[in-house]
């Protein structure tokens, strides 16, 4: 099934009078990997927060297909399949790796993940099904052997991949990845790249905020460039790479 396009128009966000996002129009399409780049503080994470409902823009519309998201709290947006990963790894330290990934299935199971941990027949069945799905997601990253360990026992790069496994296990409609390659070594970055490319199918809208320009230029179909809360360019990697404004404000700067 084709996922709906995620669009926004006229998006404004400010904090205490300080402008963070200004008059943003965007269209994140299914089947594509969209990159969102820009210097530190440009507003990339804030835009994700507006899309997930964590931040409430003062103005503007956000639509998933023809469904307006304005006013919907984060949990309701998650129920519509909008899932994100975080810039800093946010795994539960007291749950095992596989249990952390199973939490990503909450919206897919009627009993909920907590019920699945109760010693009831329904809970046991759900737990087994969730564990199977979570193990398959870990297998995408070659992390099945880490399933029963605790996050702190894994290298930081692997912890980040576990977080991404948790984001994809529930087959989201919209996947927002905030610096997924941060802290990954070369082999882990290759695993990540392979998985993201495999996920780029018409049933998913995928948006990647990333400072690793090789990764962004290599996997994205289209890239939006944000600077001081405004889009300064949008196009294919080749178009963005040669855009004079982009070269000036970003690719030619120390952030490159």
Ligand X SMILES: Nc1ncnc2c1ncn2[C@@H]1O[C@H](COP(=O)(O)OP(=O)(O)OP(=O)(O)O)[C@@H](O)[C@H]1O
What residues make contact with ligand X under the rule CB under 6 A? 15, 20, 38, 40-46, 87
> To the nearest whole angstrom, how small is the minimum distance from the Cβ of residue 96 to ligand X?
29
DSSP 3-state of 252:
coil
For residues 181 and 169, give the distance between their C-alpha atoms in angstroms, rounded to a whole number: 18
For residues 37 and 1, give the distance between their C-alpha atoms in angstroms, rounded to a whole number: 29
What stretch of H or E contains 27?
Answer: strand 18-28
> To the nearest whole angstrom, how small is the minimum distance from the Cβ of residue 222 to ligand X?
18
For residues 234 and 252, give the distance between their C-alpha atoms in angstroms, rounded to a whole number: 17
Residue nearer to ligand X on the CB measure, 41 or 252: 41
CA angle 19, 22, 25 (to 5 degrees): 160
> To the nearest whole angstrom, how small is the minimum distance from the Cβ of residue 1 to ligand X?
31
DSSP 8-state secondary structure symbol assigned to residue 140: H
Strand 222-227 relative to strand 230-235: parallel, antiparallel, unpaired? Answer: antiparallel
> To the nearest whole angstrom, how small is the minimum distance from the Cβ of residue 252 to ligand X?
17
> To the nearest whole angstrom, how small is the minimum distance from the Cβ of residue 227 to ligand X?
9
Residue nearer to ligand X on the CB measure, 13 or 199: 13
> To the nearest whole angstrom, how small is the minimum distance from the Cβ of residue 49 to ligand X?
7
Dihedral sign from CA coordinates of 56, 79, 5, 31: positive
Residue nearer to ligand X on the CB measure, 40 or 93: 40
Residue nearer to ligand X on the CB measure, 21 or 206: 21
Q: Which of 166, 179, 240, 248 is nearest to 209 (CA)?
A: 179
Dihedral sign from CA coordinates of 176, 178, 184, 187: positive
Residue nearer to ligand X on the CB measure, 51 or 134: 51
**Helical segments of the chain, H only:** 44-52, 74-79, 97-102, 112-116, 121-140, 156-168, 186-199, 213-219, 237-242, 244-246
Residue nearer to ligand X on the CB measure, 20 or 177: 20
> To the nearest whole angstrom, how small is the minimum distance from the Cβ of residue 167 to ligand X?
18
Residue nearer to ligand X on the CB measure, 40 or 58: 40
Tokens of 53: 């409902």
């Amino acid at each position: 099934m084709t996922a709906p396009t995620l669009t926004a128009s006229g998006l404004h966000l400010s904090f205490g009078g300080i402008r963070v996002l200004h008059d943003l129009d965007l269209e994140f399409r299914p089947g594509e990997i969209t990159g969102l780049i820009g210097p530190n503080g440009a507003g990339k994470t804030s835009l994700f927060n507006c899309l997930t409902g964590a931040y409430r823009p003062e103005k503007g519309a956000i639509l998933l297909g023809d469904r307006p998201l304005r006013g919907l709290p984060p949990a309701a947006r998650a129920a519509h399949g909008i899932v994100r990963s975080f810039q800093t790894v946010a795994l539960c330290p007291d749950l095992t790796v596989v249990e952390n990934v199973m939490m990503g299935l909450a919206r897919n199971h009627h009993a909920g993940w907590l019920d699945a941990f109760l010693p009831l027949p329904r809970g046991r069945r759900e737990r087994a099904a969730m564990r199977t799905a979570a193990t398959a997601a870990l297998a995408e990253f070659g992390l099945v052997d880490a399933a029963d360990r605790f996050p702190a026992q894994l290298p930081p790069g692997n912890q980040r991949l576990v977080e991404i496994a948790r984001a994809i296990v529930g087959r989201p409609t919209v996947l927002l990845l905030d610096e997924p390659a941060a802290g990954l070594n070369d082999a882990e970055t290759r695993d990540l790249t392979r998985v993201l490319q495999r996920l780029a199918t018409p049933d998913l809208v995928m948006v990647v905020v990333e400072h690793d320009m090789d990764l962004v230029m290599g996997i994205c179909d289209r890239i939006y460039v944000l600077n001081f809360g405004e889009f300064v360019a949008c196009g294919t990697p080749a178009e963005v790479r040669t855009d004079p404004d982009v070269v000036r404000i970003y690719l030619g700067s120390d952030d490159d």
